[in-house]
């Protein structure tokens, strides 16, 4: 129990207090990742995606988080693949996220994709799924 509390404190410290000292943030997240801290995997991927623009490391850390069951990383990787028009991987990660309970965002993005390719029936089904799950 102590280790988990220590990791949570360390994570909160890294996120809230380090702010824009990115090299220190990177270092602290990597320490937590070695201990299996999923939020650190996810957020380090965000750091590499938005700040460093390093897609190889982004994918590495999102996939680490995905291996631990992080549905947000599944969605983000699906979204990334949607942006670069890799439809097969987009489907893979969106449906992976949907299968473990992350429904709204992947269904919404799939609906948008289906509208883009003029598959209005598939888009409608996606949007109806969102409505049904939010009842």
Mean pLDDT, the chain cut into blocks of 10 residues (135 residues total):
46 59 82 91 92 93 96 95 95 95 90 96 94 84
Give me the domain span that covers residue 114: 71-135
pLDDT of res. 13: 56
Whether residues 7 and 32 share a domain: the answer is yes
pTM exceeds 0.85, yes or no: no
| Whole-number pLDDT of residue 5 | 45
Question: Are 3 and 58 members of one domain?
Answer: yes
Residues 6+ away with beta carbon under 8 Å from 23: none
Give the per-residue pLDDT at 20: 67
Sign of torsion over alpha carbons 92, 93, 98, 101: positive
Quick one: pLDDT at residue 124?
95
Question: Tell me, what's the pLDDT at 18?
Answer: 58
HSE-up of residue 38 (Cα within 13 Å, Cβ side): 10
Same domain, 48 and 88: no
Nearest-5° Cα angle at 21, 20 to 26: 110
61 and 76 fall within a common domain: no
């Amino acid at each position: 129990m102590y280790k988990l509390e220590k990791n949570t404190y360390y994570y909160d410290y890294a996120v809230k207090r380090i702010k824009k000292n990115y090299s220190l943030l990177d270092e602290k997240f990597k320490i937590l990742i070695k201990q299996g801290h999923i939020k650190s995997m996810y957020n380090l991927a965000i750091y590499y995606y938005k700040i460093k623009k390093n897609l190889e490391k982004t994918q590495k850390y999102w996939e680490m988080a995905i291996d631990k069951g992080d549905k947000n990383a599944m969605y983000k990787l699906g979204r990334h693949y949607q942006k670069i028009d890799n439809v097969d991987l987009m489907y893979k990660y969106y449906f992976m996220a949907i299968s473990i309970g992350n429904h709204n965002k992947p269904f919404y993005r799939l609906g948008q994709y289906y509208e883009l390719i003029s598959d209005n029936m598939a888009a409608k089904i996606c949007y109806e799924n969102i409505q049904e799950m939010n009842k």
